[in-house]
């Protein structure tokens, strides 16, 4: 029998965010510095947080996964571990052998019917292990480092009808496409979100699944907050963190000791995360028991 998901830490965290009207930051982590920064920021701001890993971590080294698991388990505030954009059944099953609280069943590179079939079947498997699931109806345009390249596929906006079909597969979280894209918008003026579409999606899924936000690169604070008002409960900030850290490392490698490079890089990421926690309204919410 499938396990009840009511005690799943990720489900409880995002339901609390939905009820409280704030967002939980999701940070894709490629290294020790990012994972450390997430924990330090969450503990300092007394905020919940999510560490996100891409399937790349499965192939790079299980040690990175074990590090993230340990960070979540030893943190003094609620932090959960999510596998984002898992795009093959083999990777999803492999990830389910680790202590992930949730896994994104990203079959958006398939046509809708096949996407639905795979999402439904894999969700059942993961729920039997107590792991929450996320899916992407439609297709968010663009690509991200560490994820199978889908930039050549046409972005497809989510409809309320599609959102309902995906929630019917019993997923826990839904990542809608409403004008948001992965990667660079090439200017704030190119951020064109359809809030009316988001409101219809929210109405179609409310009480059945929490909405999660992808593609926030260069979002002004007000845009992020409007998305949260529109029902988003987890907001990913992958590109912002990666670009800031990479730029610092590129400019300072060979100029300062490695320990200083790692330390300052961690500090920069922590500052970004703390700022976004304030923007998202999650500061001080980590003292709630999940």
Give the catalytic positions in this structure.
Answer: 84
Residue 106, annotated as binding a ligand? yes
How far apart (Å, rounded) are the C-alpha atoms in residues 186 and 163? Answer: 28
Report the C-alpha dihedral over residues 173, 194, 216, 226, rounded to 10 degrees.
-90
Are residues 95 and 103 in contact, defined by beta-carbon separation less than 8 angstroms? yes
Whether residue 53 contacts residue 63, with contact meaning beta carbons closer than 8 Å, is answered with no
34 and 146 Cβ atoms separated by less than 8 Å: no
Is 127 annotated as contributing to ligand binding? no
43 assigned to a ligand binding site: no
Distance of alpha carbon 118 from alpha carbon 110, whole angstroms:
9
Instruction: Take residue 2 and report the two structure tokens written for it.
Output: 């499938």
Helix axes 221-229, 258-280, angle to 10 degrees: 50
Q: What is the DSSP string of 169-204?
A: TT-SEE---SS-BSS--SSGGG----HHHHHHHHHH
DSSP code of residue 289? -
Dist. CA 98–CA 100, nearest whole Å = 6
Residue 194 assigned to a binding site: no
- Does the annotation place 85 within a ligand binding site? yes
Per the CB < 8 A criterion, the answer to whether 233 and 210 are in contact is yes
Per the annotation, binding residues for Zn(2+) are: 85, 106, 136, 182, 214
Per the annotation, binding residues are: 85, 106, 136, 182, 214
């Amino acid at each position: 029998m499938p396990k009840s998901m009511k005690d799943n830490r990720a489900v409880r965290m995002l339901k609390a965010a939905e009820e409280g009207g704030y967002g939980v930051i999701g940070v894709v982590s490629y290294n020790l510095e990012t994972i450390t920064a997430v924990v330090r920021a969450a503990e300092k701001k007394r905020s919940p947080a999510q560490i996100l890993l891409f399937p790349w971590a499965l192939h790079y080294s299980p040690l990175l996964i074990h590090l993230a698991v340990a960070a979540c388990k030893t943190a003094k505030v609620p932090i959960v571990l999510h596998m984002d954009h898992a795009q093959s059944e083999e990777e999803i099953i492999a990830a389910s052998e680790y202590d992930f609280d949730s896994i994104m069943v990203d079959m958006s590179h398939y046509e809708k019917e096949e996407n639905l079939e795979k999402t439904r079947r894999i969700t059942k498997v993961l729920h039997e292990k107590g792991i929450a699931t996320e899916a992407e109806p439609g297709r968010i345009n663009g690509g991200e480092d560490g994820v199978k390249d889908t930039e050549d596929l046409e972005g497809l906006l989510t409809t309320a009808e599609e959102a309902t079909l995906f929630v019917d597969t019993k997923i826990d979280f839904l990542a809608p496409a409403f004008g948001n894209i992965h990667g660079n918008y090439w200017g704030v003026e190119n951020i064109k979100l359809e809030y009316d579409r988001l409101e219809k999606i929210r109405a179609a899924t409310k009480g059945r699944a929490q909405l999660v936000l992808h593609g926030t690169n260069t979002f002004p604070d007000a845009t992020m907050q409007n998305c949260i008002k529109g029902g988003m409960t987890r907001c990913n900030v992958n590109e912002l963190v990666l670009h800031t850290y990479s730029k610092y490392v590129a400019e300072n490698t060979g100029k300062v000791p490695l320990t200083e490079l790692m330390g300052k890089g961690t500090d920069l990421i922590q500052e970004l995360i703390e700022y976004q926690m304030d923007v998202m309204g999650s500061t001080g919410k980590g003292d709630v028991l999940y």
